Each structure stands twice: as structure tokens, then as C-alpha cells.
Amino acid sequence: MAAALAGSFLSAGDVRLSSFQRCYAKKPECFRVLDNEKLLSKSAAFYRVSFSANKKGNFTVETIYRSSPIRCSSKAQATHSLSKSGVEDPSPVSTSLKAFAPATVANLGPGFDFLGCAVDGVGDYVTASVEPHIRPGTVAISAITGGNGVSKLSKDPLWNCAGIAAIEVMRMLSVRSVGVSLHLHKGLPLGSGLGSSAASAAAAAVAVNKLFGGHLSPLELVLACLVSEAKVSGYHADNVGPAIMGGFVLIRSYNPLDIARLDFPPDKELFFVLVSPDFEAPTKKMRAALPASIDMKDHIFNSSQAAALVSAVVLGDVKTLGSALSSDVIVEPRRAPLIPGMVEVKRAALQAGAFGCTISGAGPTAVAVIDDEEKGKLIGERMVEAFLSDGGLSSSMTVSRLDRVGARVISS
């Protein structure tokens, strides 16, 4: 029964929401909806549904999202099913090229799921190559290299962030004539709170897009990466947005996707002190710690701080940016106790002169902001000491600038 129900979806690709709901009502035990909020709105005619089969032969609904238009701050629009260029099965312009995508800091304190930025110096690399031995129209992962934890990553492209994003780009371009191989090099640790999955997806999406002529827009690439994020950590763009677009981004809406890039003044100094402890904080686990409801006074306070943060970014006011970044009263208080030493690390950063400090993304990395690189190094040293003395965790520290470019090709 489960296979029969899911089979119609697999062959259809895009299915009517009403059809899915009928099948779900008949046999709900066959499906596990991971992103249920996407079912709340019934205004869209179609939702896209992806499945996986478990050992018992049942199918799991991995992703449900609307096939609706995208809006961006420039008012340009694109559909999810076809690129704006209307290109069909483009020929590759190169046999191989390598792309880089930077680390990202999501949430920025009060901006949970709608604010994020890219930081320079660290990130993931993906080399995309046209390979005659790979079945046309498909993606294979030839190698995964990098630091600790890469052995945990699957080389099955359907279960790998880079592979999922690459497949989606191939689908959006309707590539059918050649197959593509990916070599993923992880420069970011897993579960670090620095957008590790987003960096892999962004680098793969940009590499494959450029391999076939670069016909997809940045917004379309963000959508391709969101398919990957939805499968591994949830449907949120505060990592993949800045990973693709660079700089600061504000997600105004997810349905339809509406992203605005916030320009930090180029003549202002801004440094991020990133301290990553030897501790893994899986995004799904950290999301499970969030409250189901919040008080109105907390909503009002966080909203005012998020607005202040956006204003500070545009004005280049690093002190106000730091103050707002430190002021989350909803998410950080629930997550900080799950990261050994985090409360004291924040205190140490502020006492050392940081303008602000919070958890980067879901953690465990702590991020502080300052306007002087040398002072940032001293702040980082105090934060490392606090992780060790109060959390019993060794940690590494780096001081980074804002990455204003985002994912890009670095060699071909």
C-alpha cells in the first residue's frame, strides 16, 4: 500500500496538495512529514514532494515546498521549475571547474531564520567535472575530503548536501546529455554552526551552474540549495542566502521566497571573532530545544532588536550591531545551556571589549563582533580560555572579515 501510494508521486514529480492529503489520510503511517508547516497554506496549486524508502518498503516524505514564484528586492522573478533564461539541456562550457562557498553566521542573535551573513577565509570547495562514464543527466560524488568528520558524509548524491543541490541545478537547467561528478572538500567542520551544509550546497550549485554556462540567477541558486537544506536541517535560507549572495541578507518571506541583500558600508571596519569548540551541535537537535510559543513582550523586544540590527548593518554602526546581536531573549537562552561553557564565553567576550556576542547559527560556535582585528584576536583568546575553563572544551579561534562576494568559481 505504501509503495503504491508513493509511486504516483515519484512518477509525477509535482503533485497536487489535495492528492497528497488524500493519500496521507488513507495511510498516514506510510509517511513522516519532516517540514509540516509547508502544508498549512493551501493557496498553491502544486507542492513538490521528494521521497526516500526505508527498509520496510515504506516511503518518507522528505521535502514539501511550493512551486511558486520567487521575489527578490530588485523585483526580478523566476520560477522554480525553469530558469529565467529558458535554456534547455545546455552544453557544458568546460570539462571541470572548482567553486568555493564561504562560512556563514545565521540568526545574528534576534534574527532567527531571517538574518545571516557570510564570513571570509573559511568554507567548502566543490569541483564539478563532466564525466563520460556517469549516466547522462545524473550526478555522482567521486570523493569527499577534508578534516574530521568527513567519513560520516554519504557519497550517495541523494543524501549529500552537495549532491542534492547539484541534482536540483541539473533539473532546473534540464541537463540530460551529460553526467557530472563532484569532488567535495570540506573546509568547515560538521555541526559547527557555521553553515557547513549550506557551504557544500552553495559551492556545488555554483560549480554546476557555471559548468553549463551560468544561466541560473543567484535567487534560483538559493532555491536549489534550499532543497538540500530542507532535507538535512530544515527549510531556512539564513545560511544558503548569504553563502550564495555574500554579505548580509534579510529573508523577508519564505512563501514566496523574498530575499534582500543588506549592504554594509565598504569604508567601515567589521570583524567576526569565531570560536569553535570541539563539540558537535546538530541543527535538528538544537531546533528541538526551541519553545513552541513565546510571550508577546519577548516578541516585541526581539523584533525591535532585529530592526536595530538591520539599521546598524546599513549604517555601518558596529557598536549598535553588536548590542542588538547580543540581545536575543527567545532562542539563545534555550540553546546556550546545551553548549558547555557558552554563557561564560559570552561574558568573557563582552568583558574583553567585544561589542556583542551570541551563538552562530545553531552552535556550538560563538561569534563576537568588533571593529579592530588585533583586539578581535585578544577577545578570541579570552573566549577560548572560557570554553576550556568553564565548559571543559578545547576550541579554535579565527578572526574574519565580512565576505561580500559569496560562492564563486575559483579555477577551471
Catalytic center residues: 229, 283
What is the distance in angstroms between the CA of the first residue and the CA of the last residue of the chain? Answer: 49
Total count of residues recorded for the chain: 412
Show the cell assigned to 208: 554546476
For 363, list phi and psi in degrees, rounded to 5: 90, 180
User: Quick one: residue 380, left, alpha or beta (phi over 0 = left, psi -120 to 50 = alpha)?
Assistant: alpha
Tell the burial category of 371 from Cβ atoms under 10 Å away from its Cβ (0-12, 13-18, 19+): middle
Give per-residue burial for 102-141: e unless 16+ CB within 10 Å, then b.
bbbbbbbbbbbbbbbbbbeebbbbbbbbbbeebeebbbbb
Show the cell assigned to 313: 548593518
Show the cell assigned to 117: 551573513
Sole residue written with cell 556550538? 364
* Residue 239 near residue 104, CB atoms below 8 Å: yes
Instruction: Write the CB contacts of 293 (distance below 8 Å, at least 6 apart in sequence).
Output: none
Give CA separation, 321 vs 108, 358, 367, 383, in Å: 9, 12, 13, 19
**Within the chain, how many helices (H) and strands (E) appear?**
12, 16
Alpha helices in 63-195 (DSSP H): 161-173
* Residue 48 near residue 67, CB atoms below 8 Å: yes
Nearest to 189 by CA among 247, 245, 241, 147: 147
